Amino acid sequence: MSEKRIDDVTGTETTGHNWDGIEELNNPLPRWWLWTFYATVLFAVIYTIFFPAWPLVSGATQGVLGWSTRGEVARDIAQIDEGQQQYREGLLSVDVHMIRDNEELQNYAVQAGAALFRNNCSQCHGSGAAGAIGYPNLLDDDWLWGGRIEDIAHTIRHGIRNEEDPDARFSQMPAFGEMLTEGEIAGLARHVQSLPDGADPLSGPAGQLFADNCATCHGDDAQGDPEIGAPDLTDAIWLYGSDLASLEDTISRGPYGVMPPWGERLGEANVRALAAYVHQLGGGEAGEPRSETNVEEQIGEGDVPEGAGRTGGDPSDPDEVPFPEEASGTD
Amino acid sequence: MATNSDSLYAARAPIFPKRVSGPFRRLKWQIMAVTLGIYYFVPWIRWDRGPDLPDQAVLVDMAGRRFYFFWIEIWPHEFYFVAGLLVMAGLGLFLFTAALGRVWCGYTCPQTVWTDLFILVERWVEGDRNARMRLDKAPWSARKWRLRLTKWTIWLLISVATGGAWVFYFTDAPTLARDLVTLNAHPAAWSAIALLTATTFTFGGFMREQICIYACPWPRIQGAMMDEDTLTVAYREWRGEPRGKGLRRRAVTEAAETTTRAAGPQIGGRSPAIPMPGMPTGVGGPIPDNAPGDCIDCNACVNVCPMGIDIRDGQQMACITCALCIDACDEVMGKIGRPRGLIDYIALADAPAEREGRAPRSVWRHVLRPRNIVYFALWGGIGLALVFALFIRPDIELTVAPVRNPTFVTLSDGAVRNAYDVRLRNKHGEPRDFTLGVTTSSDLSLSVEGVAGTSVEVPADAQALTRVYVTAPAGAEAAGGDTTDLRIWIMDDISGERASAPTTFNGRGTR
């Protein structure tokens, strides 16, 4: 079983191991191999002294160098942050609509904006920015509050119809379910549905209803007004759906979509990066801001245009505004 | 190797290869000069590619993701060229191993070439085999220290040059050389030089045959790839044995001559063979059992062997087939008036024929056998395909990735728009303007994000990512339908070259 002998062919001693007649020759290993093995053992010992190694009940030994992969990552992030500082400063130092003229800055803004969008915006607007019922599609050429980059930056900075930011864009469509009869609403819905096909907004009985209730905000031409976030009713884009049931529901309940303000949370540089990103998604409008005052001049809380609702009732109390999911009519 | 010791580990027995001269040694010197010359000097060859591109003929630009080889430039998406070359290298090794055994190991492996160079230095500083053996055994004296330090210093200089040459392949050589001299080079350059210096110094100076025997997988793989028709370095034991020398040899020879003289006009029991370089030498005639072989046991073959083995023991893993023993033995055969080729390139299939005194088959019969022809056909076929692919490579290219999140966008006028991420590649050494267009059976129009027209400037030797919109107007068939095929074109405004890529357009029907 374990009998050493000299192999006839090679003249080498066998180890005595025998597997079904196959024997192992006892050729010595090279000595440097042994020293290499000792060197690796020594290396391992030294390594465990200097680097985190031995697992303990909670965590592991730290190693005298205090090195850690997490620390390494933190250093890398800090280094990248430092490298990006010039771009963030650059974003703050130019007018928002000038970002595009600086290729390097625009590139940074779009890359950073894309990352910010995925983290902060995609929950509502979708990872492809295509939106959903009640959440605007940011890829198309239709903008409730304006599609110039300054408009977009303002919307991101202050949000829409939120209570946290006094500069939030604000407007409110009344819930006409309390003011009009079901029949009137159904007629109005059919009328509104026909507007994109070129129907005269003010003709017919439903046109009269439109003139009395809707035209104040949406305009006599029903093309809306980005100053007050009133949607264009003649285009092909319907935030809350274009079938009759959705339109009746929208008219009855009065949508109240809310977007939180991001200015404080993200900081101005990131807001600008996001604006640059959203602006180049395919729908951004070119041009200078309308004017400084116009951009800042927003319709205040409860500042519902006069004549909204046939009864001319009081504007809703902003403290009693419904939650967006109730108001949006996504269902 | 075949020590009968109880020890589990054996110290390396130093090997002192003796100087040898002959056709194979000459060939090896030439190969060493060519391979080392290529290695050390190629990074310094300049090649003008215009102002925007590096002017180094051979450059592996990791940061820029380009590989430059004279007039050829490989982009990352053309890595199949490199893969093809690796496949060719693999098949080439199959071919050469099947035909000529471990010819790679013996002549061109860097380990062999650098070891050869280091042995040359060693011989130059410390003398030939006997002087080196004496020095090795001698106690440490001032002379020994002086010789050893001289040798090690030269080795180290060669090693530094070796490590130094390597890094020049990866960045502009003159710039890096200046940075190295002024100590401003990147740490990666220093560590690469340090690592390669250390390995060259250790492997070439001290490990030598240990690398081949213990560290390299090739000797094992080789055993499976050679066959009995492979030409490899071997000892004609049927001609050489029984070996003997000195008085005993003379006695046996005289006895043999008296017994065979009557048999015919043979010399020393054999018919005179015609020596032909590279050809197994035929030997004929029956040999009396007690006649001495041609091997005079002078150990010349062992003394010159860089692996420290005895080829007369037969085929063995440690033999790298460097053929120096052939040169050594041929010299001795010449001196004793025997035909060359006692040790020679032999196909083992010929051994029985030669043993019986018949002529071996010709070299070409061994080399041009189906297995080798198939290897060569595959090797050559891939090579031709690569060359062909190289010449039909376009200078401008595009890839189109349809944006599918969302699949389409409805615009306010009811039009339907699709977006595509188009990557434009300009392989010219100067910036070029590409005009984009679309061909389709339907009514589609194309626009480019952030650009007024449909023309995009792509920087020199670069890829530009641009978002392209294709829009179907409100009533169009494509807008309401399912999918429409289209082709996006680019045209180089200067050269008029065109390229295109097919893709599809999603209408509202795909919702």
Above 60 in pLDDT, residue B1? no
- Decide if A128 and B405 are in contact by the 8 Å CB cutoff: yes
Phi, psi of B490 (to 5 degrees): -130, 150
Supply A142's token pair. 């239709």
Give per-residue pLDDT as tens, A140-180: 999 999 999 999 999 999 999 999 999 999 999 999 999 99
Task: Please indicate if any CB of chain A lies within 8 Å of the CB of B2.
Answer: yes
Q: Which helix (H) or strand (E) holds B447?
A: strand B445-448
DSSP code, position A106: H
Identify the bridge partners of residue B455 per DSSP, sorted by sequence position. B435
Identify the bridge partners of residue B420 per DSSP, sorted by sequence position. B402, B468
Task: Please indicate if any CB of chain B lies within 8 Å of the CB of A287.
Answer: no
CA max distance for chain A:
116
Whether cis (ω within 30° of 0) applies to the bond prior to B406 is yes
Task: Please indicate if any CB of chain B lies within 8 Å of the CB of A33.
Answer: yes
**Closest by Cβ to B410, choosing from A12, A127, A140:** A140
Tell me the fold of A97-172+256-292: Cytochrome Bc1 Complex; Chain D, domain 2 (1.10.760)
What interhelical angle do B142-168 and B110-126 show, nearest 10?
150
Q: Distance, in angstroms, between A12 CA and closest chain B CA?
A: 5
- Contact list, A236 vs chain B (CB under 8 Å): 410-414, 474
Domain ranges for chain B:
23-54+90-225, 231-361, 396-510
Q: Which helix (H) or strand (E) holds B149?
A: helix B142-168
- Decide if A30 and B12 are in contact by the 8 Å CB cutoff: yes
Task: Please indicate if any CB of chain B lies within 8 Å of the CB of A31.
Answer: yes
Which A-chain residues 183-212 have CB contacts (< 8 A) with chain B? 196
Above 50 in pLDDT, residue B421? yes
Task: Please indicate if any CB of chain A lies within 8 Å of the CB of B412.
Answer: yes
Q: Distance, in angstroms, between A111 CA and closest chain B CA?
A: 13
Q: What is the DSSP string of A234-275?
A: SSS--TT-SSHHHHHHHHHH-----B---HHHH-HHHHHHHH
**C-alpha distances in Å from residue B423, one per residue of A188, A236, B345, B465, B487:** 48, 31, 56, 5, 14
Task: Please indicate if any CB of chain A lies within 8 Å of the CB of B182.
Answer: no
Q: Distance, in angstroms, between A87 CA and closest chain B CA?
A: 20
Q: What is the pLDDT of residue A15?
A: 83
**B252: pLDDT confidence band, cut at 50, 70 and 90?**
low
| B339, B273 Cβ separation under 8 angstroms | yes
| A94, A105 Cβ separation under 8 angstroms | yes
Above 90 in pLDDT, residue B328? yes
Residues of chain A with confidence (pLDDT) below 70: 1-2, 288-331
> Is A94 buried (19+), middle (13-18) or exposed (0-12) by CB count in 10 A?
middle
What residue of B is the nearest CA neighbor of A14? B4
SS3 B14: coil
The share of chain B scoring above pLDDT 70, in percent, equals: 90
**Closest by Cβ to B4, choosing from A12, A128, A139:** A12
Q: What is the DSSP string of A19-69?
A: ETTEEEE-PPEEHHHHHHHHHHHHHHHHHHHHS---B-SSSB---TT---H
Q: What is the pLDDT of residue B279?
A: 39
Q: Distance, in angstroms, between B389 CA and closest chain A CA?
A: 35
DSSP code, position B458: E
Q: What is the pLDDT of residue A219?
A: 94
- Decide if B403 and A142 are in contact by the 8 Å CB cutoff: no
A211 Cβ neighbours under 8 A, 6+ residues apart: A201, A202, A220
Give per-residue pLDDT as tens, B102-144: 999 999 999 999 999 999 999 999 999 999 999 999 999 999 9
Interval B360-364 mean pLDDT: 89
Burial A11-39 (b: 16+ CB within 10 A, else e): ebbbeeeeeeeeeeebebebebeeeeeee
Task: Please indicate if any CB of chain A lies within 8 Å of the CB of B414.
Answer: yes
Domain ranges for chain A:
97-172+256-292, 175-255+301-331
- Contact list, B11 vs chain A (CB under 8 Å): 30-31
Dist. CA A226–CA A232, nearest whole Å: 9
| B49, B55 Cβ separation under 8 angstroms | yes
* Count of alpha carbons within 13 angstroms of residue B228, beta-carbon side: 7
Q: What is the pLDDT of residue B401?
A: 96
Q: What is the pLDDT of residue A139?
A: 95
**Optimal mutation site among B6, B310, B317, B411, interface A, most CBs of chain A within 10 A:** B411
Q: The tokens 């990557």 sit on which residue?
A: B423
Supply A233's token pair. 């009713």
| A184, A207 Cβ separation under 8 angstroms | no
Q: What is the pLDDT of residue A11?
A: 81
Which A-chain residues 74-103 have CB contacts (< 8 A) with chain B? 100
Burial A126-164 (b: 16+ CB within 10 A, else e): bebbbbeebbbbbbbbbbbbbbbbbbbbbbbbbbbbbee
Amino acid letter for position A263 = G
What residue of A is the nearest CA neighbor of B469? A282
Of B408, B469, B411, nearest to B444 by C-alpha is: B469
> Pairing mode, if any, of strands B445-448 and B462-472?
antiparallel
Give per-residue pLDDT as tens, B182-230: 999 999 999 999 999 999 999 999 999 999 999 999 888 888 889 999 9
- Decide if B11 and A31 are in contact by the 8 Å CB cutoff: yes
- Decide if B12 and A142 are in contact by the 8 Å CB cutoff: no
Interval B245-274 mean pLDDT: 53
Mean pLDDT of chain B: 88
Same fold across A97-172+256-292 and A175-255+301-331: yes
Q: What is the pLDDT of residue B166?
A: 93
SS3 A3: coil
Q: How many CB pairs under 8 A join A and B?
A: 83
- Which is more confident, B11 or A312? B11
**Closest by Cβ to B449, choosing from A128, A235, A280:** A280
Give the right CATH number for B396-510 from 3.30.930.10, 2.60.40.10, 3.40.50.1220, 3.40.1580.10.
2.60.40.10
Q: What is the pLDDT of residue A316?
A: 40
Above 80 in pLDDT, residue B247? no
Of B26, B231, B32, B16, nearest to B114 by C-alpha is: B32
What sign does the CA torsion over A22, A27, A28, A34 have? negative
**Closest by Cβ to B413, choosing from A33, A126, A235:** A235
What residue of A is the nearest CA neighbor of B452? A286
**Closest by Cβ to A130, choosing from B3, B406, B469:** B406
> Pairing mode, if any, of strands A29-30 and B9-10?
parallel
- Decide if B412 and A142 are in contact by the 8 Å CB cutoff: yes
- Decide if B4 and A13 are in contact by the 8 Å CB cutoff: yes
Q: What is the pLDDT of residue B7?
A: 72
Q: What is the pLDDT of residue B246?
A: 67
- Decide if A140 and B412 are in contact by the 8 Å CB cutoff: yes
Alpha helices, DSSP H, located in A94-198: 103-120, 122-125, 149-158, 182-194
Interval B424-440 mean pLDDT: 92
SS3 B29: helix
Task: Please indicate if any CB of chain A lies within 8 Å of the CB of B409.
Answer: yes
Q: What is the ipTM of this complex?
A: 0.78
Q: What is the pLDDT of residue B256?
A: 59
Q: What is the pLDDT of residue A14?
A: 86
Phi, psi of A102 (to 5 degrees): -105, 105
**B153: pLDDT confidence band, cut at 50, 70 and 90?**
very high
Amino acid letter for position A95 = D
**Closest by Cβ to B8, choosing from A28, A126, A235:** A28
Class of domain A175-255+301-331: mainly alpha
* Count of alpha carbons within 13 angstroms of residue B479, beta-carbon side: 18
